[in-house]
């Protein structure tokens, strides 16, 4: 779970920038209204790959906060429904 739900859009954007794709917990729920959270699936990753992926994601979130938070940023939390989503990539590092 995120400490601040205002950070949810930052994490969503950081996923795209880094290629580390944790799924929003809401992906697994149709009706439940949950606090913003992500599910990380690292079963096939080595410890080094997990640490590298988390560090990469954390760095991207930090950079996004520095660029956008507190200076008129237009980050907004968008409602998400897995039933309305056509596709959500699996939790994996994508090569660019």
Domain hosting residue 17, numbered range: 5-68
Report helix angle 8-18 to 47-68, nearest 10: 120
3-class SS of residue 7: helix
6-48 pLDDT, tens digit each:
788 888 888 888 888 888 888 888 787 888 888 887 778 888 9
Q: How many domains does the chain have?
A: 1
In a domain, 52, yes or no: yes
- Put simply, whether the predicted model's pTM sits higher than 0.75 gets the answer no
In a domain, 41, yes or no: yes
Q: What is the DSSP secondary-structure string of 22-86?
A: PEEGGGG-SS----S-EE---TTS-HHHHHHHHHHHHHHHHHHHHHHTTTT----PPP--TTT-S
């Amino acid at each position: 779970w995120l400490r601040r739900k205002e950070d949810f859009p930052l994490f969503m954007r950081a996923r795209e920038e880094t290629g580390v794709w944790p799924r929003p917990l809401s992906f697994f729920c149709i009706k439940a209204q949950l606090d913003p959270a992500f599910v990380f699936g690292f079963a096939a990753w080595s410890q080094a790959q997990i640490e590298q992926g988390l560090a990469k994601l954390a760095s991207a979130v930090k950079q996004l906060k520095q660029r956008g938070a507190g200076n008129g940023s237009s980050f907004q939390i968008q409602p998400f429904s897995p039933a309305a989503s056509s596709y959500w990539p699996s939790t994996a590092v994508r090569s660019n």
